[in-house]
A and B are shown apart, each in its own frame.
Chain A
Amino acid sequence: MGRYVARRLLLTIPVLLGASFLIFAMVYALPGDPIRALGGDRPLAPAVVAQLKQEFNLNDPLGIQYLKYLGDMAQGDLGTDFRGRPVLDTISQRLPITIKLTVVAIAIEAVIGIAAGVLAGIRRNSFFDNVVLVSTTLVVSIPILVLAFIAQFVFGLRLGLFPISGVQEGWYSFLLPGFVLASGSLAYVARLTRTSVAENMRADYVRTARAKGLPNRTVVIRHTLRNSLIPVVTFVGADIGTLLGGAIVTESVFNLPGIGRAIFDAVRAQEGAVVVGIVTLMVFFFIFFNLVVDVLYAVLDPRIRYE
């Protein structure tokens, strides 16, 4: 087990470096001149331009720029945006918002998704099962963008139940965007649980448990659920990383000042250092949670024991 984790950790290094270089190359291959854009209508003095270019390493070839960036990052310096504000500041200010949003989304997706999936899976082809099948198809088909506006319009504007913008009302303001963000995964969790439960209901050990005369509830909770939830738990775990990265649209529509919104603003303003810094962080989260899930899988399912 220890060797497996160590090997997986080593394998993440090239992926992390590769992904951050990919973003770095795309961002700094921009044809536009961000320094000139900074000056706005009044062109900056040539000396100032030269100094800024020096400061942001814009004169070096791409590879050198990237290596210098990595060197700084190793010392905990993610650079500054063009206004001189450290990227690390932006991240530490914005990240809590996105983490809250992700926590709400994961909770919604796990609770509702698993409950619906279990109820559908126990009684396959029942009325409720068909409701779950149809509604998950529907939810999967509604793009997040559209769902966000439906939610804003119906629950925010018409019914006035939820705030539709900003984070003034604490956790309550995260409920609606959290639900929107979770919707796709929620449908997937429900289906995954349903398939898994339905498959396990036919398993030999469930028949054995029934033959022993155990009550239905015990059979479902103690025997079926325990085994059925393994793939679900791993999916939800891996989804944390995906949701952290998928918050761009939700945060933009609901006007939440998290890192998704920050990255969107930074891409628009061509703030290279901010984009690369945040994307690298997101990739790190994504890889980290996937690693955790792989290890978790080996722990939960004894059939999959790694060397």
Chain B
Amino acid sequence: MSDQQQADLRKDEVEAGTTTGLASPSVDVTSDRQNSLWSDAWKQLRRNVLFWIGAVLGLLFLLMALFPKVFSRGADPRDCSLSRSGQAPSSEHWFGFDQQGCDYMANVVHGARNSLIIGLLAVVVILLLGVVVGAISGFFGGWVDSLLSRVADIFYALPLILGALVVLRSGFLGRGVVAVAIALAAFGWMTAMRLVRSQVIAVKSSDYVAAARAMGASNGRILLRHILPNAIAPVLVYATITIGVLIAAEATLTFLGVGLQRPAISWGLQIDAGQRLLRVAPHLVFFPSLILTMTVMAFVMMGDALRDALDPRQRS
């Protein structure tokens, strides 16, 4: 990060402190260290237990998605034998067997990959759409802003699950991992856009933006070098939590029968198959639900901790 940016970030932080009237700006000015928003946030984050729990869980599931064989203890999810159908968990096979007699732990572990790919892919698209549309909307204002904001309103009025349900059922995206991610992103970008837009509007009237303009910086340069770095924090917090929400949404869509299809391995499919046997083999719903919840929780915890760390009002 350049010194200029650091100075900008620090200035923004001082301003935030002044407006809330809680942090004392004089401390920042007299201190010798160049504390950027991010290094302060990291300091805060390091002390947060919830952040570390979330980070460790997140890393665990990332490794699970990359090397499922290690976690399934060598068992193959497609190695099935009907003679073991629906067997309960044992010390040999921790998660038991599903209805087809496949090792359930292997299946649940192999489900992590699709969930994480969809969650991450969808969040990347949401961030791209949100930042680009939000920045254009907030920076240029006027009729461009009105138009883009109305478009966002239209999408906002349709619930995420409902919109994605209709798109996926209509079938012009197909039914694969990419299709589900795009369907989720198409109905999930509006909050990111609104966050970026309002941040850009707030930052754009700062003195240092006026100074950059006075020095002859172009619109693109002002937006990319001066405004966006200072407007991005809230949307990053939102994106972190949203990964978890999207993973849950994928499982829901798949459960409803419009997401991934067999032979793909997905927690949604496992929960759907298991719920019919809820009375006789509750472990079939329990294990994918547990892992799904823990994955969502990892991202929610990291996002919560990040928000607390970035919020200047939380600082003492």
B130 close to A (CB within 8 Å): no
Check A32/B171 contact, CB under 8 A, given A137-B297, A283-B157: yes
Q: Report which of B159, B256, B278, B294 forms a contact with A153, defined as CB distance below 8 A.
A: B278
B154 contact from A19, A143, A149, A268, Cβ within 8 A: A19
B264 contacts partner chain A, Cβ-Cβ < 8 Å: no
Which of chain A's residues has its CB closest to B146's CB? A11
CB within 8 Å of A: which B70-112 residues:
none
Residues of B within 8 A of A140 (CB): 300
Q: Does A242 reach chain B (CB closer than 8 Å)?
A: yes
Closest to B293 in A: A142
Q: Are A157 and B279 in contact (CB under 8 A)?
A: yes
Contact in complex: B50, A137 (CB < 8 Å): yes
Contacting residues of chain A (249-285) with chain B, CB-CB under 8 angstroms:
249, 252-253, 263-264, 267-268, 270, 275, 279, 282-283
Could you tell me if B278 and A149 are in contact, using CB atoms closer than 8 angstroms? Answer: yes
Distance from B74 Cβ to chain A, minimum over Cβ atoms (Å): 28
B157 touches A142 (CB 8 A): no
Q: Give Cα distance in the complex from A282 to B158, angstroms.
A: 8
A-B contact count (CB 8 A): 119
Q: Tell me the residues in window 282-307 of chain A with beta carbons closer than 8 Å to chain B beta carbons.
A: 282-283, 286-287
Chain A's interface size range is 35 or more
Secondary structure at the A interface, as helix, strand, loop or mixed, is: helix
**A264 to B256 alpha-carbon distance, docked (Å):** 8
Contact (Cβ within 8 A) A267 B292: no
Task: Evaluate contact between B170 and A26: CB separation under 8 angstroms.
Answer: yes
Contact B169 A287 (CB under 8 A): no
Q: Write out the residue numbers on chain B whose beta carbons fall within 8 Å of the beta carbon of A14.
A: 150, 154
Q: How many angstroms from the CA of A31 to the CA of B162 in the assembled complex?
A: 19
Instruction: Say whether A30 faces chain B, with CB atoms less than 8 Å apart.
Output: yes
A15: Cβ under 8 A from any B Cβ? yes
Shortest Cβ gap from A246 to chain B (Å)? 6
Given contacts A143-B296, A248-B165, 4 further A-B contacts (CB under 8 A): A137-B300, A249-B252, A249-B255, A279-B162
10 closest residue pairs by CB, A with B: A141-B297, A143-B248, A18-B154, A245-B159, A146-B289, A283-B157, A19-B157, A15-B153, A141-B296, A141-B300
20 A-B pairs within 8 Å (CB atoms) are namely A15-B153, A27-B170, A137-B50, A137-B300, A141-B296, A144-B252, A145-B251, A145-B289, A149-B271, A149-B285, A245-B158, A245-B159, A246-B161, A248-B161, A248-B162, A248-B165, A249-B161, A253-B275, A268-B169, A283-B157
Chain B residues with CB under 8 Å of chain A are: 50, 150-151, 153-155, 157-159, 161-162, 165-167, 169-172, 244, 248, 251-252, 255-258, 268, 271, 275, 278-279, 282, 285, 289, 292-294, 296-297, 300-301, 304
